[in-house]
Amino acid sequence: MVELVLVPLAETSSRANHTGLWRTLKPVIDYSSCIRCEICWKFCPDNAINLEDGRKTPAPNQKVIAFSIPVIDYDYCKGCGICANECPEKCIEMNFEEE
Amino acid sequence: MPTSIPEQELMEPGHTACQGCGATLAMRYVLKALGKKTVVSVPASCWAVIPGAMPNRTLDIPMVYTPFAATGASISGLREALDIRGDSDYNVVGFAGDGGTADIGLQSLSGAMERGHNVFYIMYDNEGYMNTGVQRSGSTPYGAETTTTPVGLDRNFKKQQKKVVADIMMAQGVPYVATATIAYPEDLIRKVQNAKKTNGPKFIQILAPCPTGWYYPPEKTIEVSRMAVQSRMFPLYEYSMGTFRLTRPSKPVSVKEYVQSQKRFSHMDEDEISILQEEVDRRWEGLLEKETH
Amino acid sequence: MREIGSKTSIMTGNEAVAEGVRLSKVGFISAYPITPQTTIVEKLAEMVANREISARYVEVESEHSAMAAVFASEIAGVRSYTATSSQGLLYMHEMLHWVAGQRLPIVMSVVNRAIGPPWNIWSDQSDSMNQKDTGWIQVYSESNQEAMDTLIMGYRIAEDSGVMLPFMSMEDAFILSHTSEQVVIPDQELVDEFLPEFHLDFKVDSDRPMGYGSYSTPDGPFMELKKDMMESMWQSANTIKKVTGEFSEIFGRDYGGLIEEYMTDGAEYLLVASGTVASTAKYVAGKMRADGRKVGIIRIRYFRPFPAEDIVRATKDAAHIGVIDRSVSFGSGGTMFNEIKAALYGRSDIPVTGFVAGIGGRDVKEDDIEGMIDMMAAGKEGTVFINTRGDQ
């Protein structure tokens, strides 16, 4: 594509911007209590929770072992705490970031 | 196990929205509902800064930035041009805040809806000019303190009731009108997908709570969004092809409980809360009547 | 001149402009009615209804929306057009910057009309002169033929890959817009030979997701983008000359370049004008030349880019320069007058007099122009309002 003039276009993914640096509180998931309901994934405004294969991850019971687990991407998590607040099992803990 | 909402993400992480931003979730869900063949037009609003500064973008679809009052007209032009190109399969979406919709953009919105273009207009309603620092809009509810309705020696909180644009759109005869909120993503996504079945203009008003402007802790965004529905402060409805359907909250809470969840209402006394409760009840009765007609 | 492939018709300026839009194969039109622009868009709506043009016409609810709609259609890659006048143009102002800043080569017709209050539908150039800083190429026509031809050239110039700036084409209210003249209408094949199809490199495409016009910090590309607009605007002067030359070869009508010089050879007194006032001025110059007075006329066609070099060159041997403005910057002076003085600064000591005339459609007659020449001969300088009650 030939553009001889400068046009205000923005093409770079915001993934370059690591908003995890904003975080003061860090959510940590206790997978042994996590029922894989995906509510934390659903409500994450930063799209910082990914669903991944969890077959080798501790689980509260065998029924959920085949389901995806939520994995927090700390590069982007801003630590808002919605996930912990909405978690029906209260298995996400918000801890202060270490200096 | 299939997820309860589409898995596809068209909003990337790394955006610069505030912690616990409701408007960001509104965009995430709308794009999940519509998919990749979508173009969005965004006026001056929080969403004009959420993607970050050039050269960054945060959406995996084209996003056209426009001046404040231009949303309705810009989606009209995009729709017609895409049709001329033979790209009728694109979803054309206007995505504007409540100031850009209820106030400065109302004329442009009304014109676009009246002309009947096959477009979506999504109003993400955070009940004020949040991007510019929490000023009052027509969509701010009665009782709210904002930076332009401050409570000082005179109690100058917003004295007028909320202007509900979705109701205006129904009165104008827009073929598909709905309200939704981010606490109920399945309902929100279903409504966007229902709207898509209408070949014409569709308007969806999404309540998107704002921790920065409503003064509550960021982790409470979904909770506040849920309470807005349960208290009937923000009733959820769907109006399609003349049929009106109102959602009854499963666990009703009082307006008092709702206003106590946010500091923007913290100055309100019992009488003022009663005024708001009465307006909420009056509006609810009006919506119930719509259902029976 | 190639006689083949054209027909001659009698039509108003607005009808001629509509013919230009049809011949330019515009795909999307959006407009809001305002006198005296209305007969352009009425004609276009009629052409759409009669399938004489394969375009969509969207009747918006305001001029701001008209420009927002063509902004959006153009960004989707469809050649777009709108037209307005006066208050309508002012209402578009914000969107004019937006279109230019996004580098969208939209062409718009402006039928020059006064700005209120009081209400006044007659001709002056206050509306378009108020838009001189928006990043639009601006051109003033003198005849219905020129208005049509300029519109067709407009798309070629604006869409040039080194220009990519929107194009505003002016005609005087009523004097051109509603007055019939003979106009040569070229065949479509000839226009197609001159004006290729429109392709926008960065058009909306879901396979190439990007933000259009997002935001820039002070250290971002903001200032470079604005500088690039400036450079493209200067570059457009060459493109205008090239395209005007090509147009002349194909259609046989030569408009010169950014300015038109009339009887400037050996002229002592040079009057600068634009639009139809220039026609009167040319007539007066002819008469005065016959009387032995050395009068010449420079007609500014393009006000943006400003033809500073052409002005310096064309005036270098004059004794006195007068500028007729149909707009004024209150507290400063006539709009063209100021720019011409700026162009001459440091390169010429020739005195310049500003004549503010024809505001709100007031006639500018032969006598008025003769009076200007007399004032110049008498060494009058500064800004003079012409033909106002209570003068002198």
In chain A, which residues have their Cβ closer than 8 Å to the Cβ of B211?
80
The pLDDT tens digits of the residues spanning C221-270 come to 999 999 999 999 999 999 999 999 999 999 999 999 999 999 999 999 99
Q: Angle C222-251/C86-101 helices, nearest 10 degrees?
A: 110
Q: Give the CB-side neighbour count of residue C135, counting CA atoms within 13 A.
A: 26
CB contact under 8 A, A84 and B219: yes
In sequence order, the β-bridge partners of residue C306 are none
CB contact under 8 A, C214 and B53: yes
Q: Residues C260, C249: contact at Cβ < 8 Å?
A: no
Residue C390 confidence (pLDDT): 78
Q: What is residue C197's DSSP assignment?
A: P
Residue C3 confidence (pLDDT): 53
Residue B84 within any structural domain of the chain? yes
CB neighbours of residue B153 within 10 Å = 5
CA distance B33 to B22: 17
Strands (E), A6-68: 9-10, 12-13, 25-29, 49-52
Computed over every residue of chain C, the mean pLDDT equals: 97
Question: Pick from A11, A18, A79: which is nearest to B57 by CB?
Answer: A11
Enumerate the H helices of C252-392 as residue ranges.
277-290, 308-315, 335-344, 366-377
Q: Which two tokens stand for residue B201?
A: 């203009």
Question: Pick from B62, B67, B80: which is nearest to C73 by CB?
Answer: B80
**Can you give the residue ranges of every domain in chain A?**
19-96
Domains in chain C, CATH or no CATH each: 6-251 (3.40.50.970), 259-385 (3.40.50.920)
How far apart are the CA of B1 and the nearest CA of chain A, in angstroms? 6
- Backbone φ and ψ for A84, nearest 5 degrees, come out as -65, -40
CB contact under 8 A, C216 and A7: no
Total length of chain C: 392
In chain A, which residues have their Cβ closer than 8 Å to the Cβ of B218?
80-82
Residue A3 confidence (pLDDT): 53
Residue A1 confidence (pLDDT): 39
In sequence order, the β-bridge partners of residue A72 are A49
Computed over every residue of chain A, the mean pLDDT equals: 95
- The Cα-based distances of C75 to B165, C203, C354 in angstroms read 29, 5, 41
Domain that includes residue B101, residue range: 22-292
The pLDDT tens digits of the residues spanning C177-220 come to 999 999 999 999 999 999 999 999 999 999 999 999 999 999 99
- Largest Cα separation within chain A, whole Å, is 62
Instruction: Tell me the whole-structure pTM to 2 decimals.
Output: 0.97
Total length of chain A: 99
Sorted by sequence, the CB contacts under 8 Å of residue B128 that are 6+ apart come out as B98, B99, B134, B135, B136, B137, B139, B140, B144, B146, B210, B213
How does C187-219 read in b/e, with b if 16+ C-beta sit within 10 Å?
eeebbeebbeebebebbbbbeebbbbbbbbeee
- Peptide bond just before B43 cis, omega within 30 deg: no
Question: Pick from B3, B24, B217: which is nearest to A45 by CB?
Answer: B24
Residue B292 confidence (pLDDT): 73
Strands (E), A1-99: 9-10, 12-13, 25-29, 49-52, 69-72, 92-96
- Backbone φ and ψ for C226, nearest 5 degrees, come out as -70, -40
User: Strands C80-84, C107-112: parallel, antiparallel or unpaired by DSSP?
Assistant: parallel
CA distance B17 to B21: 6
Number of compact structural domains in chain B: 1
Question: Pick from B54, B59, B114: which is nearest to C209 by CB?
Answer: B59
In chain B, which residues have their Cβ closer than 8 Å to the Cβ of A79?
19
CA distance C51 to C43: 12
Residue C5 confidence (pLDDT): 76
**Residue ranges in chain C whose pLDDT is less than 50:** 1-2
- Confirm or reject contact between C201 and chain A (CB < 8 A): yes
Which has the closest alpha carbon to B245: B292, B284, B193? Answer: B292
What single-letter amino acid sits at C73? S
- Backbone φ and ψ for C43, nearest 5 degrees, come out as -65, -40
Q: Residues B269, B209: contact at Cβ < 8 Å?
A: no
CB neighbours of residue A15 within 10 Å = 15
How far apart are the CA of A54 and the nearest CA of chain B, in angstroms? 13
What single-letter amino acid sits at C130? N
- Confirm or reject contact between C216 and chain A (CB < 8 A): yes
The interface pTM score, or ipTM, of the predicted complex is: 0.97
Q: Residues A81, A13: contact at Cβ < 8 Å?
A: no
Residue A4 confidence (pLDDT): 83
How far apart are the CA of A82 and the nearest CA of chain B, in angstroms? 4
In chain B, which residues have their Cβ closer than 8 Å to the Cβ of C74?
77, 81
CATH of the domain at B224: 3.40.50.970
Q: What is residue B100's DSSP assignment?
A: I
Q: Which chains touch B (3 or more CB pairs under 8 A)?
A: A, C
Closest C-chain CA to B36: C206
The pLDDT tens digits of the residues spanning A51-71 come to 999 999 999 999 999 999 999
- Peptide bond just before B67 cis, omega within 30 deg: no
Residue C317 confidence (pLDDT): 96
Question: Pick from B38, B59, B111: which is nearest to C65 by CB?
Answer: B111
Sheet holding C80-84, edge to edge: C56-59, C28-31, C80-84, C107-112, C167-172, C137-140, C302-304
- Confirm or reject contact between C119 and chain A (CB < 8 A): no
Sorted by sequence, the CB contacts under 8 Å of residue C8 that are 6+ apart come out as C182, C183, C184, C185
Question: Is A19-96 a domain of CATH 3.30.70.20?
Answer: yes
Total length of chain B: 293
Chains B & C: contacts with CB separation below 8 Å: 158
Q: What is the pLDDT along chain B (293 residues), one digit of tens a residue?
A: 789 999 999 999 999 999 999 999 999 999 999 999 999 999 999 999 999 999 999 999 999 999 999 999 999 999 999 999 999 999 999 999 999 999 999 999 999 999 999 999 999 999 999 999 999 999 999 999 999 999 999 999 999 999 999 999 999 999 999 999 999 999 999 999 999 999 999 999 999 999 999 999 999 999 999 999 999 999 999 999 889 999 999 999 999 999 999 999 999 999 999 999 999 999 999 999 998 76
Q: Dihedral of CA C355/C358/C363/C364: which sign? A: positive
CA distance B283 to A52: 45
* DSSP SS3 for C334: strand
